[in-house]
Structure 1
Amino acid sequence: MSVLEKYMKVFEEKDEAGMNEIIHDDFKFTMHASGNVLSKKDVIAWAMSDDINDDKSRIVYENDEIGIHHAFVTFKDGNTQAVMAVYKFKDGKIFSLETGATNMPK
């Protein structure tokens, strides 16, 4: 199973231990739409919440260094975004994540 396949599985299952294993301790998540930067702890807490639900999630490309993922993400407030994510890997774990998002009509 690839790094992104593992990540998508633990994300969907809200597997906190699995998230801790697949995300590097020095992880940084940059959300370009909002300008926010989140740590490993922040991302795991967010993933365990009921705030986000992804749909039509797919891996666009992945190798040993990077992964590209696309999904439609619906938030608890009802807003939906098409999200393109670029992951960088280090030591077999997700080291960084950057996203660009497009708001979708309700």
Structure 2
Amino acid sequence: MLYEKLKKAWDQADVDAYKALHHEDFTFTFHSTGRVMTRDDMTDQSMKGMMMTVKNTHQRCIYENDDILVEHAFSEFPSGDKEAVMMVSLKKDGLIWRTETGATPV
């Protein structure tokens, strides 16, 4: 399944491996603004920056099958903000296709 591969790529700040797990039609909808980011928007520089500065703890896969991946983690951002983040991703062709998040400040 994809969860362990995604986590490993993020933890190792391996942008190429991380992006390879995302469908070419991937979109990410931000919980805070509703803004939609595409795979093309995931520049190597911005992804590497996020991987190096966003600290995720207590990560876990709540559920995963061939169609969906549901994750939860506590994230700490460079601003010092901390959130409990639920990430739900639909899969297509064995890759992450559509992702949305929900977050609660902690």
What is the TM-score when the length of structure 1 is the normalising length?
Answer: 0.88
| Distance in 1 (alpha carbons) for counterparts of 2:42 and 2:99 | 10
Question: Equivalent residue of 1:6, what SS?
Answer: helix
Equivalent residue runs for 1:56-95 within 5 Å = 56-95=58-97
1:47 alignment counterpart: 47
1:89–1:96 Cα contact (<8 Å) kept: yes
SS in 2 for 1:33: coil
In the TM superposition, what whole-angstrom CA distance separates every residue of 1:9-32 from its partner, at most 9, and x where no partner exists? 101111111012101111000112
Identity, % of aligned pairs?
36
Residue type at the aligned position of 1:34: T
- Whole-angstrom distance in 1 between the partners of 2:43 and 2:62: 23
- The equivalent of 2:30 in structure 1 is 31
Instruction: Report the alpha carbon displacement of residue 36 of structure 1 after superposing the two structures with TM.
Output: 2.1
List runs of 5+ in structure 2 lacking aligned partners: none
Q: Give the CA deviation at 1:47.
A: 3.2
CA distance in 2, matches of 1:52, 1:44: 16
Q: 1:94 and 1:69 mapped to 2: Cα distance?
A: 13
Q: Which moved more, 1:95-104 or 1:43-52?
A: 43-52
**What TM-score do you get using the length of structure 2 for normalisation?**
0.88
CA distance in 1, matches of 2:80, 2:56: 12
Aligned to 2:80, what secondary structure does the other structure show?
coil
CA RMSD of aligned residues (A): 1.4
**Shift of the alpha carbon at 1:85?**
0.6
* Paired residue type of 1:62: E
SS at match of 1:9: helix
